[in-house]
Amino acid sequence: MNLLIELLAFAVAIGVLVVVHEYGHYSVARLCGVKVLRFSIGFGKPLFQWVSPKTGTEWTIAALPLGGYVKMLDERETGGAPIPAEALPHAFNRQSVGRRFAIVAAGPVANFLLAIVLFALVFATGVTEPAAVVAAPASNTPAAMAGFDGGETIVAARTENAGESEPVRSWSDLRWKLLGAAFDHKRVVLSAKDAHGTSEFQLDLRGITEKDVDDDFMSHLGFEPGGGKLTVAGVQPGSAAQQAGLTAGDRLRSVDGMSTDNATAFIAYVKSHAGKPMTLQVERGGAGAAAGKLAEIRIVPQAQRDDATGQQIGRIGAELSTQVPSIDVHYGPIESLQLGARRTWDLAVYSVRMFGRMIVGEASLKNLSGPVTIADYAGKSARLGPSAFLSFLALVSISLGVLNLLPIPVLDGGHLLYYLVEAVTGKVVSDRWQLVFQRAGLACIVALSAIALFNDLARLIHF
């Protein structure tokens, strides 16, 4: 059943993205007066064909649905057959360089516009997200040095020396604001509420490098979702947790006198205390007479070798569950479009920078994903609900737009590069050089596809 959902979600995602991308090319070509011969979804043998009596365009659905194309009237692609004189003004190659540039750029632009609309729909219909409550940060992190103790709710943010603060509505909203400031290497002033009122915290992000901007970006800063309930979900037989008397359902309140409401911070503390006694304050779970009562438990984490680092770390053998406070966030139509455009821009810039880091070796090529991973995430997001699937669709649409704008021959970006050269020099790039660049570009695409497929298989069979 899960496989069927993944395949169906993947087919819908690819179908929508390809149709939107190719329709961008098609619509601008029509506006520029270029005759479109074929609009194909997929490659290979046609499964369905229909010719528009009005435009003469052949609409096709082909057997291999991983992509599509728009074929326009072009003197270079007739196989030597002449084009009637009355049709020449409608040939793609007879258009000005500006029109050709607009037609080719319209595909990626359509993907970005789709992402804006999808994000706007998500924001307008409302999303449930973790609240921007901060857990106690690890020492020597930017959050700790800014003065956060844990338990504060961040309500606004602004870059230093900027104007008014912007509201922070959720944890995701906070992450995006900090991500933008980190890319710009700026200080951020965060307004946060706690039991004593509202205070301002200055967070210095000038020392954050692009290498730090990854999936663990917030953890690098010392920010973890807090204010929730950290509960023992299970205890391994013979473990330190079982020997100390921890049971499933116990809620962890503090460790060595420090409040704990975040699994990541608690696990890090346990790892650093291999063989050292710790005192846990727990609120007893279960249905017995002791349920709800506080108890202190002394526990000594067992020392084990970490396969990743080779060092001895502490483990107690307990499975943890975190329930963080959440908030329903709703936006108006205009604000939803603004936020959709901003989120699309931020993700596009992040994608370009990440790709640049992979080229220079500052980021792992393992970040590349292929169709298997996309299908997996399509299925997972579809099972989570419409908002998650629309957000996933927007993310992949942005990735498709960015990928096609890369200056690699055979991609839209490669053709745009040719037109820029033509606009500057006044000369068309020769067919000979285009053929050379096309072969090089094809080699790049094959290499990227092979790496992405290898990463997919590595994630699938865990090697």
CA distance linking residue 21 with residue 27, whole number of Å: 10
Kindly name the residue from 22, 129, 152, 224 that is annotated as catalytic.
Answer: 22
- Name residues whose C-beta falls within 8 Å of residue 300's C-beta, 6 or more positions apart in sequence: 240, 244, 275, 276, 277, 278
CA distance linking residue 427 with residue 451, whole number of Å: 36
Secondary-structure breakdown of the chain: helix, strand, coil percentages, each rounded to the nearest 5 = 50, 25, 30
Nearest to 35 by CA among 80, 65, 78: 78
Contact by Cβ (8 Å): 235, 248: yes
CA distance linking residue 425 with residue 420, whole number of Å: 9
Q: Is 22 a known active-site residue?
A: yes
What's the Rg (C-alpha) of the chain?
Answer: 28
Nearest to 282 by CA among 303, 306, 299, 264: 299
CA distance linking residue 224 with residue 174, whole number of Å: 11
**Beta-carbon count within 10 A of 62 CB:** 18
The residues carrying an active-site annotation are 22
